[in-house]
Structure 1
Amino acid sequence: MAQNDGEIRVPDEDDILRQTLSTSSPYYYTNLLLKYHNGTEKLTADEYFYLYYGYLYQEDYRPFSKNEALDEMLLLMSSVDTSKPTVSQLEAIIERGVKALEIDPFNPKVLNILAYAYGALGDTRREQLYYDHLNNILSTIESTGTGLKEGSAWHVLMFSHAYDLLASKGYQYGEGKIISRTVEFVPVVKRGSDKTKGFYFDYSRVYRNKPDDVTIKRDRTWQFNNLKPREYK
């Protein structure tokens, strides 16, 4: 079923597993991922939905794996004047960004920075591709609830995706508070007349894949508004 604007779609694990593992399904995961990476065809809202939440059932989904390429990319970005970067800086950022996506293919901060870097190099096709991926991944997460109460939490595959979503909306946020075994509340700083106190996130998929010897730490996100991404029509 196609997703309508404003329709809440809580991930149905049985449906996602069935659709993404069946070779006869239009949402067979191998094909979806190839389409996502190739960028020659636009993905539908349904395809992004099954792509994002279907990643849970892939061997590569390891939410606690160290992503050294991401750390290197963010370190490079911290030294770049985003209004006048050099070609060598941009190429180095892209190299590490592409590698970072091997660990976390739907990382919003990486997609955001790759869109910026390709745009700064004049590669408008790839700039548009990563910009589309960014917006559709964020929209997919938002489609799973309102985020305004525990029973309508936003479902994410990584802790960082929650913080990136808030950063993309311009929110500054505080330390998350555990509400239940699967849901956390992330408080946000009040903005003008906005009375929103915070948002709820469902981390159940992350917790289910936590090794016993891992201590949970939350990574801080890259500030999206620093890049002033292009507005596409």
Structure 2
Amino acid sequence: MPEAVGPQAVGPRAVVWDFGNVIVRWNPRTLYQKIFPDPAECDRFLAHVCTMDWHMAHDRGESFEDNIAVLIARHPDHAPAIRAWRERWWEMFSGAIPETEAAIEALDVRGVPQFGLSNIHQDTVEGTYAMSPAFGRLKDAIISGRERLTKPDPAIFRLAAERFGYAPRDLLFVDDSAKNIEAARELGFDVHHFTDPASLRPALEARGLL
């Protein structure tokens, strides 16, 4: 379904931000291309060993240590590379996204309430916040690892609306995942699928937020 654009009689009154690849850039390949210089070998490792399905357990709050131990038992030949998922976690990041930082600052100046909703392990939250002052503009955030719920489960979106104190229609949800965007849209959130940083400000302006 195409995203609504243009002036609206009634629009969102607050913004809910995803973190990874919306506020800060995160990609396991940023780390693992150092460990596996051969691109094909790197691809195989991320497709068959440290997969995103495996990583989702961290987003649900499972400890890195326990989840890594289980994977090493299955792939003992890759033990050092698997351990690097936690030991070198911060090397998966490549800085904040300037367009998002600028938008968050501009919304803050306008007095628009802003919140976070992220699939993220509870032990990595503070380190992530330290990557950008933009995180300090968020009034509250739903952290999946603390709640033991992950996007795109509808329950985490309902929790966000309840905790932030807004009806879904009053919230603009910004995320890079199409599945998360569709889940939020089905619950009545306004949504912006973040695929191009340059499209962010026009989307906010179209809704009268900037």
TM-score by length of 1: 0.25
Larger helix share, 1 or 2: 2
Larger strand share, 1 or 2: 2
TM-score by length of 2: 0.27
